[in-house]
């Protein structure tokens, strides 16, 4: 299916960006489902918080892949970059994937990816093939106000901008106009649940990625650095009632940009929790999880208060 990728001395790198809750892991799961029988897939999953629950979500596919998890910040931030490049070089040698996919933190600023890929440890191991930027149609302009520079940089380097959750937004025309002003070179697609035709991936190698075409211009943009965002990891081995979980989410989801994870209910059901801004969803999942772990991120997250209120909902 992607035999032309295997003859390269370097392996192709695909980057998935997009703000918190836009649908990056959903697109990544589709890539795994579609390509894992033909390719040995290597994944870098980057989480801004000090813990990661998206790796658990990926395991639902049941398909093989190798994964390197990088938490506590963005891999593009100077605070992690040096260590990340060393870890990535080791990962590539040890796992020998046919293709590498980086799912960047939603808070990342990847404007300098072209320079990053010139680092000595990885320069001869990977080449940039394609960059996706996932847009949350329902919350795009809200996010633009909160993290304007970061979002602009994610869009600016993209080869494909995917307007996801298009079913929740009656008119995506103004979003497309804004994207085209930032990046007139990108293909713009609309989708629900990131459902796009991944069978066209080989075509991506025929065109020089936008980030490389615009490398000199992008050097004039200063990185946004580490965002002033708080994150909380809520854990318990005790069970929680569905009513208690819903009550907690109603109170605290509106105070966060993103709240996600898994919870073990008092009925022994395991549910997945997904929240973007005030909208939350609780869904049953086949994942086996020994305890509840939720990750919350936002600029108004009082970690101590959130932990205290969460524990009030836990079954004694």
**DSSP codes, 198-224:** GGGGGGGGGS--HHHHTHHHHTTSPP-
- What pLDDT tens digit does each residue of the chain (316 aa) get? 444 444 347 899 999 999 999 999 999 998 888 887 888 999 999 998 888 888 877 877 778 999 999 988 889 988 888 999 999 999 999 999 999 999 999 999 999 999 999 999 999 999 999 999 999 999 999 999 989 999 999 999 999 999 999 988 878 999 999 999 999 999 999 999 998 876 655 455 567 999 999 999 999 998 888 888 888 899 999 999 999 999 999 999 999 999 999 999 998 899 999 999 888 999 988 777 778 999 999 887 888 889 888 988 876 5
252: part of which helix (H) or strand (E)? helix 242-252
| CATH tag, 3-218 | 3.40.50.300
d(CA 225, CA 248): 32
Cβ neighbours of residue 142 closer than 8 Å, sequence gap 6 or more: 277
Q: How many residues does the chain have?
A: 316
Q: What are phi and psi of 88, to 5 degrees?
A: -65, -40
pLDDT of residue 1: 41
Cβ neighbours of residue 58 closer than 8 Å, sequence gap 6 or more: 25, 28, 29, 32, 43, 45, 65, 67
Report which of 20, 85, 26, 83 is spatially closest to residue 58, judged by C-alpha positions.
26
**DSSP codes, 106-128:** TT---TTHHHHTTSTTTTTTEEE
d(CA 149, CA 251): 29
d(CA 171, CA 190): 11
HEC string for 6-46: HCCCCEEEEEEEECCCCCHHHHHHHHHHHHCCCCCEEEEEE
For residue 135, the cross-strand partners are: 163
- Give the domain ranges of the chain: 3-218, 230-312
pLDDT of residue 206: 65
Q: Provide Rg for the chain, Cα atoms.
A: 19
- Contact call for residues 238 and 310 (beta carbons, < 8 A): no
pLDDT of residue 272: 92
Burial label for 147, CB within 10 Å (0-12, 13-18, 19+), is buried
How much is the pTM?
0.90
69: part of which helix (H) or strand (E)? strand 66-70
Question: What architecture is domain 230-312?
Answer: 2-Layer Sandwich (3.30)
Strands (E) located in 117-229: 126-136, 160-164, 187-190
pLDDT of residue 253: 92
d(CA 23, CA 135): 8
CA 264 to chain centre: 24
Q: What are phi and psi of 132, to 5 degrees?
A: -100, 140
Q: Which two tokens stand for residue 182?
A: 């930032």
């Amino acid at each position: 299916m992607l035999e032309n990728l295997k003859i390269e001395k370097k392996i192709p790198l695909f980057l998935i960006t997009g703000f918190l809750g836009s649908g990056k892991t959903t697109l990544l799961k589709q890539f795994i489902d579609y390509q894992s029988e033909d390719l040995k897939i290597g994944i870098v999953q980057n989480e801004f918080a000090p813990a990661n629950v998206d790796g658990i979500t990926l395991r639902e596919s049941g398909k093989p892949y190798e994964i390197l998890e990088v938490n506590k910040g963005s891999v593009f931030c100077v605070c992690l970059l040096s260590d990340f490049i060393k870890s990535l070089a080791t990962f590539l040698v040890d796992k020998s994937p046919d293709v590498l996919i980086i799912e960047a933190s939603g808070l990342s600023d990847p404007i300098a990816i072209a320079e990053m890929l010139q680092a000595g440890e990885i320069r001869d191991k990977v080449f940039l093939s394609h960059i996706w930027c996932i847009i949350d149609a329902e919350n795009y302009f809200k996010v633009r106000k909160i993290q304007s520079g970061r979002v602009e940089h994610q869009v600016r380097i993209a080869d494909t901008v995917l307007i996801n959750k298009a079913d929740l937004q009656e008119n995506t025309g103004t979003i497309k106009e804004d994207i085209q002003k930032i990046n007139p070179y990108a293909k713009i697609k609309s989708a629900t649940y990131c459902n796009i035709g991944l069978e066209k991936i080989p075509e991506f190698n025929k065109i020089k990625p936008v980030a490389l075409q615009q490398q000199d211009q992008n050097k004039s943009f200063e990185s946004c650095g580490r965002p002033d965002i708080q994150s909380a990891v809520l854990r318990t081995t005790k069970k929680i009632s569905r009513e208690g979980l819903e009550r907690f989410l109603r109170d605290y989801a509106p105070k966060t940009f993103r709240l996600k994870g898994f919870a073990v209910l008092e009925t022994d059901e395991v549910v997945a929790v997904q929240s973007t801004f005030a909208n939350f969803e609780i869904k049953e999942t086949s994942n086996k999880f020994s305890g509840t772990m939720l990750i919350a991120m936002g600029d108004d997250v009082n970690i101590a208060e959130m932990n205290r209120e969460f524990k009030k909902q836990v079954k004694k």
